[in-house]
A and B are shown apart, each in its own frame.
Chain A
Amino acid sequence: MDVSVKRESLEAMRVFDLAKTPLRELNSALHAIAPGTNDTNFEVVNPRGSHAVAVGIDQPVTVEVRGSVGYYCAGMNDGGTVTVHGSAGPGVAENMMSGAVVIEGDASQYAGATGRGGLLVIKGNAASRCGISMKGIDIVVQGNIGHMSAFMGQSGHLVVLGNAGDALGDSLYEAKLFVRGEVKSLGADCIQKEMKPKHLKLLAELLERAGITGVAPEEFKRYGSARTLYNFNIDNADAY
């Protein structure tokens, strides 16, 4: 084998085995990457439900996680692309700034919480509080989502191909919600809204970015804020 080629392929993918290597080494290596580096491909094996895998990325790296992770995987991601080939525990991609996080399995509660940007794709189901307090993140869930999802969502988009649980969009601000299946109940101040051509276009773009084919934007319903709870009004006291 040509030695130079072998060297290049080694550089091309850095593998961290969490059964042998402390998590801190992985995250420190991710944080040490300088802008413009070519050494941007990482693989994590044996995560075995570890917490805080690949948090705080601030460069356009690619991280392939081979297995299921615990709390806060890919938290605060800013520009990285993290794929979990398994399921994720609570708080995956919380406070994401930019980049992409893909979960091949299911996600536990508060996936994408407080996210400010980037794309979170969950190929299985997401549990309760998905996208709670979202502030610009785009979340696409191919399965169902649990109760209290998008609670106090401020901006960004939540797209759900399956069903939504109780109290969807409670106390919603300007996050836009698209659900293809049934919504068990809407939260306070969340209403169904008309799907206009600009929303169909937006939704088509979101589905394409998430790599979803064979699903038409027309199959979804749109939900958003009725904007009656923005400012406190004593007549609305019962709705809070």
Chain B
Amino acid sequence: MCGIVGLFLKDKSLEPQLGAMLSDMLVTMTDRGPDSAGIAIYGSPSKGRAKITVQSSDPKQDFAGLDALLKPVDSSISVELKSTHAVIETDADKASAVRDLLSQERTGIRVMGSGDSVEIYKEVGLPKDVVSRFGIRQMAGTHGIGHTRMATESAVTTLGAHPFSTGADQCLVHNGSLSNHNNLRRELVREGMTFETQNDTEVAAAYLSAEMAKGKDLGQALTSALDDLDGFFTFVVGTKSGFGVVRDPIACKPAVMAETDQYIAFGSEYRALVNLPGIENARVWEPEPATVYFWDHEKAA
């Protein structure tokens, strides 16, 4: 099964509540998959700054003295520890030097996601426990996506949890299973993409990143995905300013969307949407099969 949710705010006054709203939506979907959960929150980017969300299974050892280790690379660096994750904020020009140093000095650390605005948190366990251990409810943001997993294609591990991020400020959650992911992974490796897991969704994320790297926007990349990905999928995708949804042509995997003047929301089921403000008068619809939906804060502005 798996449960997925997404929320894209149009009304800025709701931004302080994004984390709380998305957490409620995800917790409601718990019985669609109790194995692991994850959330990506897009906050307001600050000019010239980059964020790197990292994870460790041994945070005590891997995060000890992280600040002191990275300061010589960028004196303005800040490190915020959140349970098994840490968010490193750095000068955007120094971000790749920071990542290089981390991979050399702290081999237990994995990068969950990076970019100007995204923070990604994911762990094994129930959504309610995952959102509380990372303090997701207190987070503000412009848009976000979440996932609760019933594992099929790869092991129940932190790295196998969604969202998957394979490019700056890009991430994806998936309900379904892909059947051509091994072949596609080989092709993407040849194009220079790197993979952390044997998971099918990571391949979909990397595919979209590769397509966008070729100059496509999110909507165009999702359109190509309909031709190149084989299998069952309902995807919800986030980029720095955008939010997209696409379902495979068979469309077995459930999806409901709602739109008001304040937000665009996605849920695997209507239950995920019932606490949103003004849902009684929202336009509620089921996204069509093989049809790309996407919204962009920058293009809308």
Binding site for B on A (CB under 8 A): 48-50, 68, 70-71, 87, 89-90, 106, 108-109, 127-128, 146-147
Contacts and interface: CB of A to CB of B under 8 A. Distances in A.
Interface stretch (B94-102, B113-121, B232-240, B269-277): B269-277
A46 to B, nearest CB: 9
A106 B271 contact: no
| Interface size band for B | 10 to 19
Interface string B234-276: 0000000000000001111010100000000000011111100
Contact of B270 (A70, A109, A146): A70
B9 to A, nearest CB: 22
Contacts of B289: 128, 146-147
B286 interface: yes
Nearest to B275: A48
B184 interface: no
Contacts of A106: 285-286
A49 B271 contact: yes
A87 B279 CA distance: 13
B2 to A, nearest CB: 15
A170 to B, nearest CB: 13
B251 A89 contact: no
Given A108-B286, A146-B288, 11 more contacts: A48-B271, A50-B271, A70-B270, A70-B271, A89-B254, A89-B269, A90-B254, A109-B254, A128-B289, A146-B251, A146-B289
B146 to A, nearest CB: 17
A128 B286 CA distance: 10
9 contacts: A48-B271, A49-B273, A68-B270, A71-B269, A87-B270, A89-B270, A109-B252, A109-B254, A146-B251
B274 A48 contact: yes
